[in-house]
């Protein structure tokens, strides 16, 4: 299936290679680099490239290209999903996924890759199993390791792979038993110039951080499961019980994991928490333009809107901006033509406003389309769909766990057309 993997940085240097079958010369990457040259943005590189002898499937993530070499027919999503798992695994182990981190932990990454695939077929991709085989580095452990010469490779053989619940390692023990669930909802929306909603939907995810000893069997139920239109689960969730009773019943993995993602029925009108008043105009003469943006709270259910940020991809011909913000600060990067206005908390009494002039390159024609605004925001203690966790029960263990549920609403792909 997956023959080889190359990690490539944005400037085109191959800094890690791993082969699961025979070795493929790295010159095969030239096809990819060629395609990369052609693309304007790294995102535009086609994920699947067809070369005379190989097929190249790549992802671009965290400013890195993960390029896999395929020789025979395989579902492309299989490879793509796996490449993302690699990136998530690196993130999980080292806190971030970047070129420096991979270079600093070259051996460990290589060992992990070795464990994740056998002959190109995924072998162990559950982070709980991997961590049993190769322990993630901590500051304390690396100090101890250098002093004593011991290593990160687990000396006990992993048993998780053998169990019927491969996502959970055996013999978990905590002094404080706690289970936290974050219900995070994202609003995806497109608003048009007048502020009318063109399209809006809510996507939610239940992130869990479960630190419970032994083999707890948890049941999580919602007050209003009917809201959920479409769901996908971590493999630990018993689908049959969800089908019949609409409760989540599962033996959780240890640590952080995504329990479920869901989509809220689109028929319910989505509450849009903020409104944006904007006017961006360019003078006919082509010498410049004006920008005036105001953000205010709309349907916030009585909560404060925080972390508001407006991002604008300016047209290429904009030379500079001269703006004043009544609240927060703005940054304009002339290289990427990106204007970021960080507002912070929304105060309903005094609405933040950003206005000023834009100047164009001399002689450049007036841009045809106004740039669209991307909004970022966060509302604590609120799930905008109204979803509520009813209760969490634990079976199978004797102790009383500490339980907590947190709700957050965020803007997902929230775009205002102008």
The minimum distance between CB 255 and other proteins, in angstroms, equals 16
How many angstroms separate the most distant Cα atoms in the chain? 77
Q: Which is nearer to other proteins, 102 or 346 (CB)?
A: 102
128-167 residues near other proteins, rule: CB under 8 A: 149, 151-155, 157-158, 161-162, 164, 166
Q: Which is nearer to other proteins, 148 or 324 (CB)?
A: 148
Interface residue with other proteins, options 30, 34, 106, 306 (CB under 8 A): 106
Cα 253 versus chain centre, distance: 20
Site size for other proteins (CB under 8 A): 105
Q: How many CB atoms lie within 10 A of CB 260?
A: 20
111-130 residues near other proteins, rule: CB under 8 A: 111, 114, 118-119, 121-123, 125
DSSP line for 343-385 = EES--SSS--EEEEEEEEPTTPPPPSSPPPEEEEEEEET--TT
206-225 residues near other proteins, rule: CB under 8 A: 215, 217
Q: How many CB atoms lie within 10 A of CB 322?
A: 11
Interface residue with other proteins, options 174, 225, 234, 342 (CB under 8 A): 234
Interface residue with other proteins, options 10, 12, 48, 226 (CB under 8 A): 48
Q: Which is nearer to other proteins, 185 or 297 (CB)?
A: 185
Interface residue with other proteins, options 80, 170, 271, 351 (CB under 8 A): 80
Please work out, in degrees rounded to the nearest 5, the angle formed at the alpha carbon of residue 188 by the alpha carbons of 183 and 193: 145
The minimum distance between CB 348 and other proteins, in angstroms, equals 29
Site string for other proteins, 13-32 (x = CB under 8 A): -xxxxxx-xxx--x------
In the DSSP assignment, the letter for residue 178 is: E
Q: How many CB atoms lie within 10 A of CB 154?
A: 13
348-377 residues near other proteins, rule: CB under 8 A: 365, 367-369, 371-372, 374
264-323 residues near other proteins, rule: CB under 8 A: 313, 315-316
Q: Which is nearer to other proteins, 91 or 258 (CB)?
A: 258
Q: Which is nearer to other proteins, 14 or 323 (CB)?
A: 14
Buried b (16+ CB within 10 A) or exposed e, 194-211: eeeeeebbbbbebbbebb
* CA gap 363, 42 in Å, rounded: 30
In the DSSP assignment, the letter for residue 266 is: T
């Amino acid at each position: 299936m997956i023959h080889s993997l190359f990690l490539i940085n944005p400037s085109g240097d191959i800094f890690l290679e791993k082969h699961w079958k025979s070795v493929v010369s790295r010159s095969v990457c030239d096809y990819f680099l060629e395609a990369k040259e052609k693309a304007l943005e790294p995102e535009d590189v086609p994920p699947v490239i067809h070369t005379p002898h190989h097929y190249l499937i790549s992802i671009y993530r965290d400013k890195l290209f993960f390029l896999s070499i395929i020789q025979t027919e395989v579902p492309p999503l299989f490879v793509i999903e796996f490449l993302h798992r690699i990136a998530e695994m690196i993130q999980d182990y080292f806190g971030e996924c970047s070129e420096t981190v991979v270079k600093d932990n070259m051996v460990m990454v290589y060992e992990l890759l070795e464990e994740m695939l056998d002959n190109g077929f995924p072998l162990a991709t559950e982070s709980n199993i991997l961590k049993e085989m190769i322990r993630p580095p901590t500051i304390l452990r690396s100090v101890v390791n250098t002093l004593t010469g011991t290593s990160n490779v687990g000396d006990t053989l992993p048993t998780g792979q053998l169990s019927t619940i491969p996502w959970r390692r055996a013999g978990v023990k905590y002094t404080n038993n706690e289970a936290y669930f974050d219900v995070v909802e994202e609003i995806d929306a497109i608003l048009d110039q007048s502020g009318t909603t063109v399209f809006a939907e809510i996507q939610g995810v239940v992130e869990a951080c479960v630190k419970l000893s032994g083999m707890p069997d948890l049941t999580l139920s919602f007050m209003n499961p009917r809201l959920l239109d479409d769901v996908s689960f971590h493999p630990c969730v018993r689908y049959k019980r969800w089908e019949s009773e609409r409760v989540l019943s599962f033996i959780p993995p240890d640590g952080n994991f995504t329990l479920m993602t869901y989509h809220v029925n689109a028929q319910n009108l989505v509450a849009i928490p903020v409104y944006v008043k904007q006017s961006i105009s360019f003078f006919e003469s082509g010498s410049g333009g004006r920008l005036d943006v105001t953000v205010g709270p709309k349907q916030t259910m009585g909560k404060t809107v925080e972390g508001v940020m407006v991002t604008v991809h300016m047209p290429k011909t904009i030379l500079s901006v001269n703006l004043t913000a009544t609240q927060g600060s703005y940054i304009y990067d002339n290289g990427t033509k990106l204007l970021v206005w960080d507002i912070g908390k929304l105060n309903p009494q005094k609405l933040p406003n950003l206005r000023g002039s834009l100047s164009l390159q001399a002689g450049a024609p007036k841009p045809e389309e106004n740039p669209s605004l991307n909004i970022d925001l966060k509302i604590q203690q609120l799930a905008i769909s109204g979803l509520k966790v009813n209760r969490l029960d634990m079976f199978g263990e004797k102790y009383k766990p500490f339980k907590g549920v947190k709700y957050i609403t965020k803007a997902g792909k929230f775009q205002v057309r102008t």
